[in-house]
Structure 1
Amino acid sequence: MKTLSVSWQIVKEGFEGDMDGFTKAIAALTDFIWGIPLMVLLIGGGIFLTARLGFFQFRYFPHIIKQTFGKIFSKSEGDGTLTPFQATTSALASTMGAANIVGVPVAIALGGPGAIFWMWLVALIGMGTKYSEVVLGIHYREKNKEGEFVGGPMYYIKKGLGWKKVAGFVAFALMIEIIASTMVQANSIASSMSGSFGLPPLVTGIGVALLVIAVTYGGIKTIGKVTEKLIPFMVVIYLAAALAVLIYNFKEVPQAFLLIFEYAFRPMSAAGGFAGAGVAAAIRWGLARGLYSNEAGMGTAPIAHSAAINDHPAKQGFWGVFEVIVDTLVVCTITALVVLTSGVWQTTSPDDASNMVTQAFVPLFGSSIAGTIVTATLFLFVITTVVVIIYYGEKQAEFLFGTGASKVMRVVYIAAIFVGALGGLRFIWQFLDLLLAAVVIPNVIAVLFLSGKVREITKDYFTNLYPVEHKKKAKGGNPHVRTAESDGNAGAD
């Protein structure tokens, strides 16, 4: 309660003061909301959904892997605009980004190696939330005037619960949030390109804007084709470099895992540049990084997944689980091991934590190549992120005002790229996390209210389609797979 009263006192004083005070007020309010309240909602919601769905992500893990990793190149059946893998890479494009390369070292710097254990834990729990969002996105999706499948939190809130005003609020908040998010992404890449290659922010802004225009002009089909190729490429490049570093430091890998498990449950004293961290800090930063990394509960992933060619919502839900595995359990874990085995976490100040991966690459690749690898990877991450979140923003405008409005918002977002690259309108950036919270809170509450529908769809799959998959495997045949009654289309109950 003391924290609450202090936060609200800062907020009150801020709104009564000048612009600097207003900025501090927004920051204080945002820090409070993204602290214990949202952690309780997201983690508690994830635990509830996981339990209500019978811990399916653990019980059927081999089946989920078979239906995702095992079918990346398989032809899909059912209705939709994108292949399941294209829809997944489109969703991954918004989650795979600076958080995977920069956020993980920050978590280690402030929470110690034990933070990675809690990051893993929240990822395992978040699988239930991400699966539920995607299932609902498919079940309640519909076709727009251009013949494309559209869906997301605004659709399942409106159609599943009848909360039209809440659906409109969520759509509007996300539409505006993406303006700020686009600015921040553009500024981060402009700063990186300027620092690494001396490229003026103006040139970077124009270049990024032109690339985004070229991709978004073709709509979700073009976005899907681009992310399908670019996401695997940049993940493989980054992981190849990171794994080379782990091989170089292979003797330290067992010790890195020992540090993760040991200091998840006991405090770690200061050592070198590491200031030390208690168990509470490890939990706080591990949970925060896990939640922010895989975006489970944020309502964005089902917007992309809703366009997938699909004959049962649960099947696409498995691709939501796939997202969490790739983003958090693979890429974030590899980043953590690179930082821990290289020892840079003990020699680098927390204020410079964002450069830990580059520093870890230096002994093997040299400073020039190391900087180029990280900068190029971040550039690709940012480009794909901006392309996909602009699509998300367009779909919010379409939901609120029709397909014509989506084209108008595309122009607004392109302008935001240019302005953000130059560092303009920074006061808008302050609202990014606050607006995102305005999307997350009603989205998670809606998913919890609709958990009965998710359970019904999941039960239908494992009762009717799961046995058929096993029969096909046992007999080597190809019997006709029955389509579930819900069918995953427009989805009226």
Structure 2
Amino acid sequence: METLTKTNQGFDFCRIWGNFDFLGIIKGIDAVLWGPFVLIPLLLGCGLWLTVRLGGIQFRKLLPALHLAFVRRDEADPQDGASTAVSPESGQAPHETDATKTPTTRPAPHELDYSPTATGEIPALTATSGIPIVNTIEGDISHYQALTTALAATVGVGNIAGVATAIHLGGPGAVFWMWVTGLVGMASKYSEAFLAVRFRKKDANGEMNGGPQHYLQYVTKNRRLGKVLALAFAIFMIVASLGTGNLTQANSLATQLNHSFGIHPVLTGLFLSVLAGVVLLGGVKSIGRVTAAFVPIMIIIYVGASLIVLGLNAAAIPGALALIVRDAFSGTAATGGFVGSAFIVTLQYGVARGIFSNESGMGSAAIAAAAARTRQPVRQGLVSMTQTFIDTIIVVSMTALVIVVTGAWKLSGPNGHGFDGAPLTAQAFTIGFPGTQGHWVVAISLVFFAFSTVLGWAYYGERCIERLAGLKAVAVYRIVFAVVLFVGCISSIEVAWVLADISNALMAIPNLIGLVLASGLIARETRDYLRRDPKLRAAG
């Protein structure tokens, strides 16, 4: 999700502010929100709290979660059982009498549906049945497609540029805190997806719509407060989708294509707007199909290239890992062009860039999880938490190790300072990759990563605009989104970058409040499900 180093290409929107230092003001706000005293402790604290409440579910159930995501058959398989609703009181299908009813099988408790009823009411647990008995499968896309849609938005240029920036400013030890953030954040990601499925509902098109913009209104008995939290999230998510998920990604993609291949930004803007528009017109099913095919390829290419570099520098890996762990607690003195950092700086940049990369606690990926075909939320929660594992523990680690083992983080750039952002990653691949074409790996990966992020965040924005203005407003949003993509390709948008960061922070705050308020519900229903599902219970 993190964006590439800002450029001065095209029209500069900052000029409209004249001598008024608007950019300086919003940069100050951004620094406070993402500093060591606001979001970093909130996000880490929430993740730790949920880790404790859920008994370390991200460690105990990681292997079965990966199995659910990539191996186990889709829940829509008709062999899983009938889709007939069953009455909690009688155990038989509604509108049937004892004389006319057809034989039905009461579903196993771990197969039951937690979703809202047809009237939109949210079913509650009962002492006798544990959960409402509705043997139906709802949803628009598979577990796997929901995962790849979320990965499309998450595995972005932040996995290339964001990691490099963390190392440049915080030292190699920042990587350790990115790992910690990812591991703790898996509990947050699980909880978000759980709530998204638990409180989702159908829209006028028959598609499932869920996420913080819906579930936040149910996590507190004070419905007025809940609605305020939900609406605040939706508003800031829309702003972020046009900034983080649109302007900045388009600018990064156009800049990279121009620098690497000489393609004019106007051509990139036209092509990107049309291509994204075609995919978005197909709705979540179209996005799911594209990302299901697209995301694995882009991750395999990047991870494969990284493994080649690491294989050629295998002897340096133990030393690199030792440096990352040692530097996490001591900081690193200035070396060459490297910006020296103390422990607090290392911690701050590691946590902040880790959160930017995996989005755990921000609530965005929960919107994709809500569209999954599933009977209940625990299973999708397990699948969704693997997203953070893939993003941070696998992809981020590849970038970090390539930068550290090649020594690129200690080199000085043309301006006498150390390389930063994507240029640092490109320098590392140039040094470590066979031949002289290592920078092409970064260039091609950035194009894939940026486009996938655009698709994922466009879907998030659609769901939130529908929450605020209804289904008809989605068509208008798609047009606006396509136009903004073109603008992002041809403009200098430093203000948009900072505003997007602020929107990310502001949408995370109501979601974190909701996760803490709902932690008891999440823990209770998770324990109930795991106790009743023999396969997951046996897995840990």
Per-residue deviation, residues 334-366 of structure 1 (Å, max 9, x unmatched): 111101111111114445343122122224546
- Contact persistence 1:72–1:85 (CA under 8 A): no
Of residues 203, 224, 227 in structure 2, which corresponds to 1:144? 203
The gaps in structure 2 that reach 5 residues or longer are: 1-16, 81-136
Equivalences for residues 274-289 of structure 1 within 5 A: 274-289=338-353
Alignment match, 2:173: 114
Alignment match, 1:370: 438
Equivalences for residues 391-402 of structure 1 within 5 A: 391-402=459-470
| Greater alpha carbon shift after TM alignment, 159-168 vs 102-111 | 159-168
Q: Give 1:65 deviation, angstroms.
A: 3.3
- Contact persistence 2:219–2:517 (CA under 8 A): no
Of residues 381, 385, 398 in structure 1, which corresponds to 2:449? 381
TM-score of the two chains, using structure 2 as the length reference: 0.80
Equivalences for residues 184-333 of structure 1 within 5 A: 184-333=248-397
Q: Give 1:81 deviation, angstroms.
A: 0.6
| Greater alpha carbon shift after TM alignment, 342-351 vs 83-92 | 342-351
Of residues 164, 176, 187 in structure 1, which corresponds to 2:227? 164
Per-residue deviation, residues 270-313 of structure 1 (Å, max 9, x unmatched): 33333432222221111112111110111110100100011221
Q: 1:23 to 1:251 in 2, by over 3 A?
A: same
- Contact persistence 2:411–2:419 (CA under 8 A): no
Alignment match, 1:27: 27
**Corresponding position: 1:174 with 2:242:** no
Alignment match, 1:3: none
- Contact persistence 2:229–2:511 (CA under 8 A): no
Q: 1:108 to 1:441 in 2, by over 3 A?
A: same
| Greater alpha carbon shift after TM alignment, 357-366 vs 143-152 | 357-366
**Corresponding position: 1:51 with 2:115:** no
TM-score of the two chains, using structure 1 as the length reference: 0.88
Letter of the 1:332 counterpart: V
Q: Give 1:468 deviation, angstroms.
A: 4.6
Q: 1:365 to 1:175 in 2, by over 3 A?
A: same
**Corresponding position: 1:446 with 2:514:** yes
- Contact persistence 1:305–1:316 (CA under 8 A): yes
- Contact persistence 1:419–1:425 (CA under 8 A): no
- Contact persistence 2:69–2:147 (CA under 8 A): no
| Greater alpha carbon shift after TM alignment, 36-45 vs 18-27 | 18-27
Letter of the 1:178 counterpart: S
Q: 1:351 to 1:362 in 2, by over 3 A?
A: closer
| Greater alpha carbon shift after TM alignment, 149-158 vs 271-280 | 271-280
Q: 1:34 to 1:284 in 2, by over 3 A?
A: same
Percent of pairs identical after alignment? 36
For 1:277 and 1:469, locate their aligned partners in 2 and report how far apart those are by CA, in whole Å: 44
Q: 1:75 to 1:369 in 2, by over 3 A?
A: farther
Letter of the 1:264 counterpart: A
Q: Give 1:463 deviation, angstroms.
A: 1.2
Q: Give 1:60 deviation, angstroms.
A: 3.0
For 1:324 and 1:183, locate their aligned partners in 2 and report how far apart those are by CA, in whole Å: 24
**Corresponding position: 1:432 with 2:500:** yes
Alignment match, 1:62: 63
| Greater alpha carbon shift after TM alignment, 152-161 vs 215-224 | 152-161
| Greater alpha carbon shift after TM alignment, 181-190 vs 132-141 | 181-190
Q: Greater Rg, structure 1 or structure 2?
A: 2
Q: Give 1:380 deviation, angstroms.
A: 0.9
Alignment match, 2:146: 87
- SS of the residue 1:110 aligns to: helix
Per-residue deviation, residues 442-461 of structure 1 (Å, max 9, x unmatched): 11101111111211221121
Q: 1:41 to 1:102 in 2, by over 3 A?
A: same
For 2:300 and 2:200, locate their aligned partners in 1 and report how far apart those are by CA, in whole Å: 32
- Contact persistence 1:110–1:350 (CA under 8 A): no
Alignment match, 1:491: none
- SS of the residue 1:418 aligns to: helix
Q: Give 1:378 deviation, angstroms.
A: 0.8
Count of paired positions:
455
Letter of the 1:274 counterpart: F
For 2:272 and 2:215, locate their aligned partners in 1 and report how far apart those are by CA, in whole Å: 33
- Contact persistence 1:138–1:151 (CA under 8 A): yes
Q: Give 1:390 deviation, angstroms.
A: 1.0
- Contact persistence 1:65–1:322 (CA under 8 A): yes
Stretches of 4+ aligned residues off by more than 6 angstroms: 72-75
The gaps in structure 1 that reach 5 residues or longer are: 1-16, 474-493
Q: 1:426 to 1:340 in 2, by over 3 A?
A: closer
